[in-house]
Chains A and B, each alone.
Chain A
């Protein structure tokens, strides 16, 4: 009798704990932070410099993109416009209104439309990014990569920075980007 009583109490505690833990975990992963492993070589050398032998794991901050606000130079994860189940991680090169010189896109120069972003991988030529599928809508932004958390030797905060040769020709205020310092 004591054995059955203990089993039932354990089962009830497990079920009630389960109903607390699962929604809270799901909400935290959806709203606050998400952890993801980076695959592929499209962001070398910033992410995954060792390739498939030692992939980086990044922390994606979902709270900072709750209003879909990103700035140039951020590394963001977006839902792929070509496959809605896949997420791709790239750097934001241009925001709405910027005038960009493209690398291999069908148009040589592009003005990023309203509500869209221009994203590129750091490893040009090995990257499936806006140079292939054009500007992406801001509603597809999933999270901003804020830290590299694995391997421990690469523990660091990711700072937003645009490579100097990829800065927009004209930003949305109409100013040129010459004389821009980091």
Chain B
């Protein structure tokens, strides 16, 4: 009996071995050969009940164990890394699609939307309305700031394109009105005294809107849908 340890590739009826000198040796006379694979040890061995010959010489392969064990482990590690990277890319892309097209969680800071949204509140803003152009008057939206695209602002929509909005301050005697241009919206914070919004920087292009705030998630005592505008008369 010959105990041969080596890499096993079964091709149809033929059984090939890779020896330490990287030659392929074919089992001949393997009428009683028994194949057994032991994957836990990363080791494959075949016990031939008859001899194994290559052009008349017998091949012994016990020294191959160390070298081939490392080769198989390295190959396994490489394959696992590729698999891990593939899964990361796939789940990262699914996460990107979810945040871009469904909704995202936003943590608001600042006093400009009190009492509806206070400092350090967490809200959920959905992207579907914005992508379908269905933002309406009275919605609270998250938008990119017109002066710094990396900052976001959270305000309420007071007027859509074509609407008449009041752009004079509360201290003015005569109220002045403007019309919101095409493709723009007029945003105002609920805390009129402490909010820089369209009253100072003018109408904001619709395409800067990121999403509509639909649900408040934190703090738990004010969980739920957000309230209507506390400022009557701003929405004409």
Contacts and interface: CB of A to CB of B under 8 A. Distances in A.
Contact of B89 (A24, A30, A85, A136): A24
Q: Is the interface of A mostly helix, strand, loop or mixed?
A: mixed
Interface string B149-181: 110000000000000000000000000000001
Contact of A23 (B90, B133, B145, B147): B90
A19 B183 CA distance: 35
Contacts of B94: 19, 23
Contacts of A31: 96
Nearest to A67: B150
A73 B144 CA distance: 24
A137 B183 contact: no
Nearest to B89: A24
Interface string B37-49: 0000000000000
Given A27-B92, A68-B150, A137-B208, A85 B133 contact: yes
B205 interface: yes
A81 B181 CA distance: 10
Given A68-B150, A81-B183, A115-B149, A26 B97 contact: yes
A139 B183 contact: no
Interface residues of B, number: 24
B182 interface: yes
Of B93, B94, B181, B208, most buried by chain A (CB within 10 Å of CB) is B93
Interface in B75-130: 89-90, 92-94, 96-97, 100
Contact of B205 (A19, A115, A140): A140
Given A24-B89, A81-B205, A83-B182, A139 B144 contact: yes
A82 interface: yes
B182 A140 contact: no
A84 interface: yes
Contacts of A22: 97
A82 to B, nearest CB: 4
Nearest to A81: B205
Contact of B208 (A83, A85, A113, A139): A139
Interface of A: 19-20, 22-24, 26-27, 30-31, 67-68, 79-85, 113-116, 136-141
Interface of B: 89-90, 92-94, 96-97, 100, 133, 144-150, 181-184, 205-208
